[in-house]
């Protein structure tokens, strides 16, 4: 399980079976160019692997208005 905090919604959830950042974003309905994924204060690229127990922040970066 990967714990995800969504920003700016400030909502937390857990995701099963997301091996890479790209898979995680797909499960969340986010596009890689429109969201940042942060783990331990560092930005993750779409190809990086995630592991069970990770805590990440997914932050939307595009304009919504």
For the domain that residue 21 is a member of, what is the CATH number?
3.10.20.30
Q: What is the pLDDT of residue 3?
A: 97
- Flag whether 65 is in a domain: no
- For Cα atoms 57, 4, 1, give the angle at the middle one, nearest 5 degrees: 135
Interacting residues of 39 by C-beta distance below 8 A, sequence separation 6+: 54, 55, 56, 57
Does any domain span residue 55?
yes
Domain that holds residue 47: 2-60
| 63: pLDDT strictly greater than 90 | no
For residue range 2-56, list pLDDT tens digits in order.
Answer: 999 999 999 999 999 889 999 999 999 998 889 999 999 999 999 999 999 999 9
Q: Both tokens of residue 56?
A: 């990440």
**Is residue 20 situated within a structural domain?**
yes
**Number of domains making up the chain:** 1
């Amino acid at each position: 399980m990967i714990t995800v905090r969504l920003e700016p919604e400030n909502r937390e959830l857990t995701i099963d079976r997301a091996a890479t950042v790209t898979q995680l974003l797909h499960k969340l309905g986010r596009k890689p160019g429109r969201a940042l994924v942060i783990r331990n204060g560092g930005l993750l690229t779409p190809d990086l692997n995630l592991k069970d127990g990770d805590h990440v922040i997914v932050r939307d970066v595009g304009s919504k208005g």
